[in-house]
Amino acid sequence: FATMHKRLVDLLPETRDRLAKIRRGHGNKVLGPITVEQIIGGMRGIKGLLTQTSRLDAFKGIKFRGLSLPECQIRLPSVRREPIPEAMFYLLITGEVPSNDEAEDLKKDIAERAQTFPNYVEKIVNSLSKDLHPMSQLSIGVLALQNESEFAQAIRRGEKRGNLWQSALEDSLNLISRIPKLAAMIYVNKYRDGKLGEIRENADLSENFCRMMGYHDEKFWELMRLYLTIHCDHEGGNVSAHTTHLVGSALSDPYLSYSAGLNGLAGPLHGLANQECLRFILGMKEAIGESPSEIDIEKYLKDTLAKGFVIPGYGHAVLRVTDPRFVCQMEFAQRYMPNDVLCKLVASLYKVAPRVLKDLGKVSNPYPNVDAHSGALLTHFGMTEYDFYTVLFGVSRAIGVCASFVWSRALALPIIRPASVTMENLEEFVRKT
Ligand code: CMX
């Protein structure tokens, strides 16, 4: 990773200087008001975090270091059509599109690190009950890797704050290279015969991840590249990124921080929606058949809502349009599997669900999010074990939150400690205004 490391060293003084200038010259300026509704309503729209790696626009969707998803697909080094995950990490860390050589250099480094998976973690993961949810297993595995943390050692020996980004980067590269094996172990232990597939020295992270899980179809490796690209980062306020950032601000190392982030990702309103979507599509197929009419779908959705359930894969806390991450999965489906029954059902649902949700009159965004499509694509290639899907999300999200972690330490961001108010405080405020 020598080239990426060198680039980061070059970028540091200039980036630190930019932030210092903003702080010195404009620290007192007001960026926006905070309403009572925002305090009660999950801090929606409050700009309170500094995240370098990506920015989410409510109408245009995610931009990774200023590049939209389609731009990443075109510009980042790729195998076949989709970017390799290593290239995405390079982009998120440096803000620059790597050359093929630069991406290759990082790919080699990550592949080498993947070979050094600690034995004791293997033993811990292999000893876990198969009944334990794969996300709990992943979080335990990442926590167990913490014994390897160079960041924790640097803290113990009193390393200067300004230098901590170096060990943060080391830990991040180790975590990103080892988490696919951890996830693959969980997969083969829970759903297969416990034996990991062989990996290739020259393969990218996606191909080797799929090989370890026992998938040998090149199109599946390509789907995994797409999956790992679109789930890696979604600016700083989502639960998994925010949690990782919050825990990291206490100078907990990347393993402690990301294990906490994974626990947030495992929530049904966040990453777990991934598995719920496929369950929903399968339930719908069971109830109204493989090619239902729009009227049948509408009735099914209304019945679901009447029972008090949400429509998984629809809605978003920030987005107000169809998620571009949904769109590129739909394009993948149209390109490779135009006749797939589940993908067709996803497309039919997309024609009806926004209208039904709009009619409720309370849903801020009635359009599909990233989770609405992935299950149907994975099922097409034989990955039907939907309670594993959020683990794939977890493998991908490590790329974004680790890049942010490195920058948070490089910029020596302080411990996060917002203030809270009591209901009496709010009532007093309301009386006075
Ligand atoms: N189906 C039914 N009702 C929905 C809904 C959906 N898909 N999306 C929102 N609503 C409802 C909310 O439950 C809320 O109802 P109440 O006021 O009765 O509690 C109301 O509409 C307003 O909510 P909102 O402002 O539109 O949405 P939030 O910002 O509060 O929540 C989200 C966003 C994603 C949690 C929500 O849309 C949802 O529950 N969606 C389904 C689960 C899902 O797909 N999650 C994955 C998110 C993707 C990610 O993690 O990145």
Mean of the pLDDT values across residues 319-330? Answer: 97
Tokens 């599997």, residue? 337
The residue range of the domain holding 364 is 1-433
pLDDT of residue 254: 98
pLDDT band at 348 (very low <50, low <70, confident <90, very high): very high
pLDDT of residue 273: 84
Mean of the pLDDT values across residues 244-262? Answer: 98
pLDDT of residue 201: 87
Please check the confidence at residue 119 and state whether its pLDDT lies above 90. yes
Please check the confidence at residue 40 and state whether its pLDDT lies above 80. yes
Distance CA(216)–CA(351), nearest Å, equals 34
Q: Who's near 3: CB < 8 A, 6+ residues apart?
A: 98, 101, 102, 105, 106
Contact criterion met (CB below 8 Å) for 269 and 301: no
Q: Who's near 273: CB < 8 A, 6+ residues apart?
A: 312, 313, 369, 371
Distance CA(321)–CA(85), nearest Å, equals 26
Cβ of 372 below 6 Å from ligand 1: no
For ligand 1, atom 10, name the residue with the nearest CA.
363
Q: Which of 239, 269, 272, 350, when mutated, tests ligand 1's pocket best, judged by the most ligand atoms within 8 Å of its CB?
A: 269
What's the CA angle centered on 99, arms 96 and 105, to 5 degrees? Answer: 105
Contact criterion met (CB below 8 Å) for 267 and 289: no
Distance CA(162)–CA(76), nearest Å, equals 30
Distance CA(107)–CA(86), nearest Å, equals 6
When divided into structural domains, the chain yields a total of: 1
Q: Kindly report the number of other CB atoms within 10 A of residue 412's CB atom.
A: 14
pLDDT band at 2 (very low <50, low <70, confident <90, very high): confident
What's the CA angle centered on 197, arms 195 and 200, to 5 degrees? Answer: 150
DSSP calls for 292-348: --HHHHHHHHHHHHHTT---TTB--SS--S--HHHHHHHHHHHHH-TT-HHHHHHHH
Distance CA(416)–CA(423), nearest Å, equals 22
* Complex-level ipTM beyond the 0.85 threshold: yes
Q: Which of 363, 369, 374, when mutated, tests ligand 1's pocket best, judged by the most ligand atoms within 8 Å of its CB?
A: 363
Distance CA(118)–CA(146), nearest Å, equals 11
Cβ of 314 below 6 Å from ligand 1: yes
Sheet holding 54-57, edge to edge: 54-57, 61-64, 67-68
Q: Does residue 361 sit in helix, strand or coil?
A: coil
User: Do strands 82-83 and 54-57 pair parallel, antiparallel, or not at all (unpaired)?
Assistant: unpaired
Residue 250: C-alpha distances to residues 152, 217, 242 (Å): 12, 43, 13
Q: Does residue 194 sit in helix, strand or coil?
A: coil
pLDDT of residue 278: 92
What's the CA angle centered on 219, arms 113 and 228, to 5 degrees? Answer: 45
CA of 58 to the centre of ligand 1 (A): 15
Indicate the average pLDDT of the chain.
96
Region for residue 57 given its phi and psi (left: phi exceeds 0; alpha: psi -120 to 50; beta: otherwise): beta
CA of 270 to the centre of ligand 1 (A): 10
* Cross-strand bridge partners of residue 56: 62
Contact criterion met (CB below 8 Å) for 61 and 72: no
pLDDT band at 275 (very low <50, low <70, confident <90, very high): confident
Q: How many residues does the chain have?
A: 433
Q: Kindly report the number of other CB atoms within 10 A of residue 362's CB atom.
A: 6
Looking at the CA of residue 274, tell me the nearest atom of ligand 1: 46
Please check the confidence at residue 394 and state whether its pLDDT lies above 80. yes
For 175-222, what is each residue's pLDDT tens digit?
999 999 999 999 999 999 999 999 998 999 999 999 999 999 999 999
For ligand 1, atom 23, name the residue with the nearest CA.
363
Catalytic residue IDs: 270, 316, 371
Q: Kindly report the number of other CB atoms within 10 A of residue 424's CB atom.
A: 8
pLDDT band at 162 (very low <50, low <70, confident <90, very high): very high
Cβ of 264 below 6 Å from ligand 1: no
Mean of the pLDDT values across residues 267-296? Answer: 93
Please check the confidence at residue 1 and state whether its pLDDT lies above 80. no
Please check the confidence at residue 274 and state whether its pLDDT lies above 90. no
pLDDT of residue 187: 98
pLDDT band at 92 (very low <50, low <70, confident <90, very high): very high
Read off the CATH number of the domain in which 349 is found. Answer: 1.10.580.10
Distance CA(385)–CA(133), nearest Å, equals 12
For 200-204, 294-298, 361-365, which range has the lowest pLDDT when averaged over its residues? 200-204
Mean of the pLDDT values across residues 276-298? Answer: 96
Distance CA(54)–CA(57), nearest Å, equals 10
For ligand 1, atom 2, name the residue with the nearest CA.
310
Distance CA(179)–CA(146), nearest Å, equals 12
Q: Which of 233, 305, 362, 393, when mutated, tests ligand 1's pocket best, judged by the most ligand atoms within 8 Å of its CB?
A: 362
Q: Supply φ then ψ for residue 55, to 5 degrees.
A: -140, 135
Cβ of 311 below 6 Å from ligand 1: yes
